[in-house]
Structure 1
Amino acid sequence: MTWILIAELAVMLACIWLGSRHGGIALGFWGGVGLLIITFVFREAPAKPPVDVMLIILAVTCATATMQAAGGIAFFVRMAEKIIKRYPERITIIAPLVAYLFTFAAGTGHILYPLLPVIHDTALRNGIRPERPMTVSVVASLQGITASPVSAAMAAFIVVVETQGYSLPKIMLIAVPATLIGVIVAALVMLRWGKELEDDPEFQRRVAAGEVEDIPVMVRAQRKARREKISMDAALAELGHDPDSEADSQVAVASASVSADGRLEEDILAEKNGARPGSPRITAAVFLATVVLVVVFGAFPGLRPPGEDGEPMGIALLLQILMLSAAAIMVAVTHVKVGPIASSSIARTGVIALVGIFGLAWLGLTVIAANEELIVGGLEGLVTERPWTFAVALFACSIVLFSQASTTRTLMPLGLSLGLGPASLAAMWPAVNGAFFLPTYGTIVAAMNFDRTGTTGIGKFVFNHSFMVPGVTAVVAAVASGLAIAGVVG
C-alpha cells in the first residue's frame, strides 16, 4: 500500500537525518535503528545485507591503509603537488585534473585533503581566485571515485552489473571519459567565476586586517598591465612599487610534502612507522600494479581462476584476494609496523564507509525490496519514456546518503528492475556524486576552512554555496556524456 511505503520512507529519512546530526560512523548506526523499526513495527523481512560490497571495501582499506602507513599516500601527494606547482597559471584546469587522477588511482578522496592548501596558496600567489580551483578540485575528487577501479562505489556497482555480464573494463569505458568530461566542463565554467581578487571586497578587507597576505605585487602589476593595456613600469608606478625592490614579489607556497628541515614527509612517516628506506615508492608501485591487475583480469575473464560453479571467478571476489595480497606484500617488503596501519586515517575512513554501507544500504535495500512491486509499477512508465529521470533519483538519494557506494548499492538494483541496461546505468552512475549539494561533506568543509581569502564559502541561503555551480555542472555534463558514450559502445 502507498501509505506504508510513505511511512517507511519517512522512517528511513528520519534515521538518515538523525545520523547526519552525529556524523561519521553514526550514519550507519542509525541505519540499524531504521531496520529495527521496519522489521518489528512494519513486519517487513530484512533484505540480504550487502556483505559482498563490505568485504571489498575492507580489502581495499587494508591495502590503502598499509600504503599510507609506509608513506605511499604521502608520495602520491608529493607527485600531485609537483604537477600543480609546475603550471600555476592554469591551476583552475590542472588542479581538478590532478585531484581526479590521484583519486582515481587511490580509490579514495582522502588524498585531496593535503593538496587543498597547496592549491589555495598557488592560486593566491598567481592572483587567481582560490574558489575556482578549490571547488572544482573537490568536485573532481567526487567524480574520480565513480571511475576508479578500486573505489567502494565501483565495488558496489560491479556487484550489481556483473550478474548481467557487464565487466569492469566496460564500466570504465563509459565512466572514465564521462566523468573526465564533467570535470573539464566544470573547470571551464569556473575559469572566470566570481570577482577577481583585486575587486573582491572580502579579500581586500582580510588583507587590510592582516588576516591573509596580498597578491604579490609583480603579479598584480602584470594583471593590471594586461587589463588596462599599459606597460609594466606604469602598472608598478600606479601600485606605488619600487621596481628595484623584490621584497614583496615572492610568496612562499604551502608544501604538503616537505618538512621544515627539508626532509620529505613520506620518508619521515615511513621511518616513524618502522618501514625501510624507499618504502613510500615501493608501496605506491605495489598498489598501482594491483590496480592494473584488477583491470586486466576484469577485461580478460579467461585469465581468472575458476569459481564455485566452474566459471571464471567473479571480479568482486578476485579484487578482495588481490588487495589483501597487496597489503601482505607491502608489509613483508617494507617491514612497516602493523599498529600504525590499523590506526591510520584511511583505516578509520574505511571503517566508517563499511558501517555506512552496512546500516544505510541495508536499510534502503529492505525498504525497496518490501515495496518493489509498487515502486517499479509507479516508475516503470516514466523511466521507460524518459530514462534520464533515473539519474535524478540517484542524485537525490546521494544527497541524503552522503555516499556514492551506499546510493549505488541501494538504487542500482532498482534500475535493473525498471528495465535499464547496464550501459545506461553506467552512463547515469556519475549522478551519485550529489554529496556536494549540502555544504557538510568532509572535503567541502576542509576547502572552506583552508581558503584564507574568504572566496570559498556558504551564501545567505545555504544552498547558494561555492560548490553548487561546479558540482551540478559536472554531474549534468558527466551524465549527458555518459549517455552519449553508452549509445555508441553499448
Structure 2
Amino acid sequence: MKVGKELVEDPEYQKRLKEGLFNNKKIEIKDVKNKRSAMISVLIFILATAFIVLFGSFEGMRPSFLIDGEIVTLGMSSIIEIVMLSAAAIILLVTKTDGIKATQGSVFPAGMQAVIAIFGIAWMGDTFLQGNMGQLTLSIEGIVQQMPWLFGVALFVMSILLYSQAATVRALVPLGIALGISPYMLIALFPAVNGYFFIPNYPTVVAAINFDRTGTTKIGKYVLNHSFMMPGLVSTIVAIALGLLFIQIF
C-alpha cells in the first residue's frame, strides 16, 4: 500500500528543503557530563529489568502472603510497578540526580501523560465494566451471540478510549467469555484492541510525528485524517479478516 507523494513531489518537504532545514552536517557527542552517574543509572535500570524477567519466568520467586488462611501470590503488574519505582528512587539517591531538573526534561512529562492516560483511564474503565458486568451482559447478550463479530467493534472502540491493549483485554474479554463467545473467535478478534491509533494523541504517535523532520507524517486538518489512519485501519481489518478465515478453515 502506498500513501502520499514521493519526497521530490511533496510540497511540505520541498518547502523545508528550500528553507535550509536539512544539511549534511553530522552532530557528534564527544563527551557526556556525569558519565559515571549515567552508567550507574543504566546499570540499575538493566538490573531492575532482569529482576522483572526473573519474577515473570519463575512464579516461585514471587512474594507470597498468607491471607485468611489462603496463600496469595503477588501479581506481576504490582511487581513491575514496585521494582521499577524502586529502581527510579535508587537512581535518584545513588547518583544524586536533581529531581526538579529531571521533571523538566522531555521524557518525564510524556511519561506522566502516559501514566494518566493509560493507567488512570484504564482503571476507571475496568472499574465501570466490572461494576456493571451483569447489566452489560444482559443488554448485549442476544446481539453478540447472533453476530459475534460485533464484539470486535466493541474492542476497537474501547481501545480508543483506554489507550492500551492490555487494559482493553482486561476490561472486555471477561465480558466476552461471560457472553459465551468462542475462545477461537476472541483470538481472531484480538487485533481489534489496537485501535489507539484512531485519535492521534497516543504518546508514540505524537513522537513519530515530531521525529519526522520531512513533515510528511502529520495530523490532518480534520484531526482524524492523519498519517496513521489508513495503515492502521487496513492492518487491523486484514488481521481480523484473516483470523476469522483461519478459525473457519481450521
TM-score, normalization: structure 1? 0.40
User: Post-superposition shift, 1:395?
Assistant: 1.4
Q: Secondary structure at the match of 1:204?
A: helix
Whether 2:116 is the aligned partner of 1:377: answer no
Q: Secondary structure at the match of 2:226?
A: coil
Whether 2:7 is the aligned partner of 1:197: answer yes
Question: Does 1 or 2 have the higher relative contact order (CA < 8 Å, sep 6+)?
Answer: 1
Out of 276, 300, 306, the residue aligned to residue 64 of structure 2 is 306
Give the direction of change, closer, same or farther, for the CA distance of 1:312–1:363 in structure 2 (3 Å limit): closer
Q: Matches of 1:196 and 1:410 in 2, distance apart?
A: 42
Structure with more helix by fraction: 1
Coordinate RMSD, CA, aligned: 4.1
| Matching residue's letter, 2:46 | A
Q: Secondary structure at the match of 1:392?
A: helix
In structure 2, the residue matched to 1:286 is 47
User: Post-superposition shift, 1:371?
Assistant: 4.5
| Matching residue's letter, 1:438 | I
User: Post-superposition shift, 1:336?
Assistant: 1.7
Q: Matches of 1:357 and 1:198 in 2, distance apart?
A: 39
Give the direction of change, closer, same or farther, for the CA distance of 1:427–1:449 in structure 2 (3 Å limit): same
**For structure 1, which runs of at least 5 residues remain unmatched after alignment?**
1-188, 214-249
Q: Matches of 1:422 and 1:328 in 2, distance apart?
A: 42
User: Post-superposition shift, 1:196?
Assistant: 1.9
User: Post-superposition shift, 1:197?
Assistant: 1.7
Give the direction of change, closer, same or farther, for the CA distance of 1:304–1:279 in structure 2 (3 Å limit): closer
Q: How many correspondences in the alignment?
A: 243
Residues 112-147 of structure 1 show CA distances to partners (whole Å, capped at 9, x for unaligned) of xxxxxxxxxxxxxxxxxxxxxxxxxxxxxxxxxxxx
In structure 1, the residue matched to 2:216 is 455
Q: Matches of 1:378 and 1:461 in 2, distance apart?
A: 34
In structure 1, the residue matched to 2:99 is 340
The answer to whether the 8 A contact 1:430-1:479 is kept is yes
Give the direction of change, closer, same or farther, for the CA distance of 1:450–1:397 in structure 2 (3 Å limit): same
Q: Matches of 2:122 and 2:149 in 1, distance apart?
A: 23
User: Post-superposition shift, 1:296?
Assistant: 0.9
Give the direction of change, closer, same or farther, for the CA distance of 1:322–1:428 in structure 2 (3 Å limit): farther
Q: Matches of 1:425 and 1:277 in 2, distance apart?
A: 45
Residues 178-223 of structure 1 show CA distances to partners (whole Å, capped at 9, x for unaligned) of xxxxxxxxxxx4xx4332222334433443x42544xxxxxxxxxx
Out of 155, 164, 187, the residue aligned to residue 394 of structure 1 is 155
The answer to whether the 8 A contact 1:376-1:418 is kept is yes
Residues 88-117 of structure 1 show CA distances to partners (whole Å, capped at 9, x for unaligned) of xxxxxxxxxxxxxxxxxxxxxxxxxxxxxx
In structure 2, the residue matched to 1:128 is none
| Matching residue's letter, 2:218 | G
Give the direction of change, closer, same or farther, for the CA distance of 1:212–1:434 in structure 2 (3 Å limit): same
**For structure 2, which runs of at least 5 residues remain unmatched after alignment?**
none
Give the direction of change, closer, same or farther, for the CA distance of 1:310–1:359 in structure 2 (3 Å limit): closer
Give the direction of change, closer, same or farther, for the CA distance of 1:307–1:388 in structure 2 (3 Å limit): farther
In structure 1, the residue matched to 2:76 is 315
Q: Secondary structure at the match of 1:453?
A: coil
1:238-249 matches, within 5 Å, as none
Q: Matches of 1:321 and 1:409 in 2, distance apart?
A: 21
Q: Matches of 1:311 and 1:485 in 2, distance apart?
A: 39
